[in-house]
Amino acid sequence: MTQKQKILSVIIPVYNEEKTVVSLLDKVMRCGVSVPLELIIVNDGSTDSSPELIRNWISGQKKSAAKIVFLNKENGGKGSAVKAGIRASTGDVVIIQDADLEYDPRNYEACIRPILDGECKVVYGSREEENRNRLYSSPSFYLGGLLLTFWINLLYHADLTDEPTCYKTFDGSLIRSLPIDGDKFEWEPEVTAKLLRTGFEIREVPVAYYPRKITEGKKIKWKDGAQGLWTAFRWRFASLKGIRRTLGASAPELGNALRNHRKISLLLWSVFFLAFFVRLFFALPSLGNPDLQMRAESDAFLTSANQILKHGVFRARYPSCIAIFPSGTPAYEITSLDNVRAPLYPAWLALLFKLSSGSLVFCILAGCLLGALIVFPVFFSGRLFGSPHVGLGAGLLFALNPTAVALSPMFLPDTLFAFLVALQGYFFLRFIKSAFGMNLICAILLAGGAALIRPANALWIIPCVIVILFFHKLRAHLKFNYVVISLLLFAGVILPWMFGSHLAGIGWRIDTISSEALLKNASALKADLEGKGNLLTHMEAFRREERKVYAAAPEQYGTIAAQLRHRDRKMLELIFSHPLRYLKLHFSGDSLRRIVSPDFSALFENFNIGRTGNRPPDSPRAQPVASGAFAATAVLYMFYALGLGWFLLLSLDRRHFLYFLILLLLAGYYLFMPGPIAIPRYQLPALPFVCVAAAFGLFQFFRILRRKPLLRGLELSPGSGTLHVSAGALR
């Protein structure tokens, strides 16, 4: 039996296109597709001569083999015309064609071929796929299209390059069974949203594009763009139960995809709630005594937050004083050199105080929630370069990491910083995956915001630029453009605050704490070089030397800015004069222990509950918790080590080397930046990257074990005793 030949339905909505419609129809008839055509021309209440021109053209096509249907309707918008055409269509494949000449019908074959071959059910013809980020029309239309595409990708975790494209191609039975509400241009993001939410793959193929201006008849306006953004947002959360049932009848294979999608979503939310309740468990004692979550520097942030609420501005400097915890316990002395903090975390605390009328308990709960929310960017990062299961594994590793658990409820900036850095890394990985500039812009803006929490994040711009320069998906001129844009955007975020710091008298810097950390690192190096003393003794020696220098030249060092410049210069001279020795300190036993081991003291301090509120961690009640936590952590870090080790082996493969480079540049500098004074919380921003890499390695390792024994990939050369690892064993 001969198989019935499939038909392509071309739906052409027309509204006042008398200048182009005939030429367009002629091009459609000469499109050269390999299947019969069905033209459905829908006149959407045109007020010019378009209907007459179409009728005359149809009358001249009597010898044509194509089926031609002409529909007349009142003006209702492009969406209403497209819906009318879809209802009238009978083709196995349906494509939308505007009546202007911006798109070339010769691209039909590329759009319909994946559907005809059974590879997918939806194909979009992308104007950006091969010529990424080039201007095709006026800047407003171009940027509007990029914004809508980015917004949909963000909401639906998709990787489209050109959502507003006209050339949307569908399996006929699928699109005819999909309910469409929008009557104007918003029908397009509505259809895209519904398809993505119901689990359909949207394939993209490159198409040509010849833009026209508003003066030449282009009809879309900024209001249509705003309506599209709202439509995409609305359908992200609207119920699709009825639509899923309807689509299931036209795509029986959709059922398994939907079940898998729901399963992954359920597991992801389970990981999130696990992360939240683990953090809440360790925060429970502090809900009755918030001082348990205070650390030496906590009061400086609380004071800054209260200043924001009281005066409406962030005060960069305070007089020397004794900081007092809310309970009245003295904390530490705020001196003229260590009292200036980065602004974003105090602003975050001020917001929480505003929402809760100054409740410290509310802030602790918000910290637990924020720490758990980091699971989501970690999951999506893992899914980008692995699979949803890799993302779930990465999220679980982060959810259970003791350092992340311990820090979440504390009055320290690390959790907020880690959240922004995780988002920053996710968007940068999206940029690496798709070369979409909007993702890079988001990463840069988030990096700038994170630098306003911990200024060391300003160093991130260096690996960012390096990756861009070596990124093979970008042409040379785009690399230059992206580097310049990245530097300008980053500077635009942090320079206003740095300028404010300059006006406040501390120089062009974000805070003064970074200078204090540099002093500690240099002191540790000095102790190692001399083989005597410790960090604290050399810090005090440096301070005495500083005071002598300042006293000898009061005019030169009469400001904090001048004193900080002098200190930084001296400390950097010492470090750069012994770079290898300084680097070696990162790998000393003590430094590695503090980096790798969790901050158990912070965890168990929450359990110091007694009548005095000061029960030691080794008390009978705390000891079982300590033992269990140590045992669980040992197992957890075994998985970390196995996953990271296998990831490093995979990076030897050319296909995975870019992953290793990204990990090294984006996470490695966090591991090395703090220097020999590294403490676990300094490494928290590296954890999202490390968890993704470890999960990727773990799933590759267990996939190999599941499919074939590991020993099959190992060969021993006879007589030589040399062990060879085959390429297949590493993949």
Residue that wins the pLDDT comparison between 216 and 726 = 216
Q: How confident is the model at residue 714 (pLDDT cuts 50, 70, 90)?
A: very low
Question: What is the chain's mean pLDDT, rounded?
Answer: 80
Residue that wins the pLDDT comparison between 374 and 256 = 374
Long-range CB contacts for residues 472-480, cutoff 8 Å, separation at least 24:
473/132, 473/435, 474/132, 474/435, 478/132, 478/133
Q: How confident is the model at residue 466 (pLDDT cuts 50, 70, 90)?
A: confident
Angle at 326 between CA 325 and CA 329, to 5 degrees: 45
Predicted pLDDT at 212: 67
Lowest mean pLDDT among 242-256, 560-574, 591-605, 703-717: 591-605
Report d(CA 293, CA 405) in Å as an integer. 12
Q: How confident is the model at residue 662 (pLDDT cuts 50, 70, 90)?
A: confident
Q: Among residues of the chain, what percentage have pLDDT more than 90?
A: 27
The number of helix segments (H) and strand segments (E) in the chain equals: 31, 11
pLDDT in tens, 553-592: 888 988 888 989 999 999 999 999 998 888 888 776 665 5
Residue that wins the pLDDT comparison between 71 and 336 = 71
Burial label for 518, CB within 10 Å (0-12, 13-18, 19+), is: buried
Show the 3-state SS of 204-260.
EEECCCCCCCHHHCCCCCHHHHHHHHHHHHHHHHCCCHHHHHHHHHHCCCHHHHHHH
Amino acid at the residue 595: I
pLDDT in tens, 138-167: 666 677 777 888 889 888 888 888 888 889
- Ordered by start, the domain boundaries in the chain are 8-252, 272-513+584-707
Predicted pLDDT at 435: 81
- Residue 495 burial (CB count, 10 A): 13
pLDDT at 239 over 60: yes
Residue that wins the pLDDT comparison between 456 and 670 = 456
Report d(CA 568, CA 517) in Å as an integer. 10
Residue that wins the pLDDT comparison between 47 and 666 = 47
Mean per-residue pLDDT, 29-43 = 90
Predicted pLDDT at 329: 39
Residues 424 and 688: beta-carbon distance below 8 Å: no
Residue the block writes with tokens 């995780």: 422
Q: Where are the alpha helices (DSSP H) in 319-411?
A: 344-356, 360-373, 375-385, 388-400, 402-407
Predicted pLDDT at 657: 66
pLDDT at 705 over 70: yes
pLDDT in tens, 605-661: 544 433 334 444 444 555 565 666 677 777 888 888 899 888 888 877 766 666 777
CATH of 8-252 given 3.30.1490.100, 3.90.550.10, 3.40.50.970, 3.40.50.20 = 3.90.550.10
- Residue 329 burial (CB count, 10 A): 11
Q: Among residues of the chain, what percentage have pLDDT more than 70?
A: 80
Residues 38 and 66: beta-carbon distance below 8 Å: yes
Predicted pLDDT at 340: 79
Predicted pLDDT at 375: 96
Report d(CA 673, CA 390) in Å as an integer. 28
Residue that wins the pLDDT comparison between 336 and 443 = 443
Long-range CB contacts for residues 558-562, cutoff 8 Å, separation at least 24:
559/505, 560/336, 560/337, 560/505, 560/506, 560/507, 560/512, 561/502, 561/505, 561/506, 561/507
Residue the block writes with tokens 């021109």: 53
Residues 106 and 210: beta-carbon distance below 8 Å: no
pLDDT in tens, 537-552: 999 999 999 999 998 8
DSSP classification of residue 178: S
pLDDT at 404 over 80: yes
pLDDT at 306 over 80: yes
pLDDT in tens, 278-289: 999 888 888 888
In this prediction the pTM is 0.79
Mean per-residue pLDDT, 177-184 = 86
DSSP classification of residue 4: P
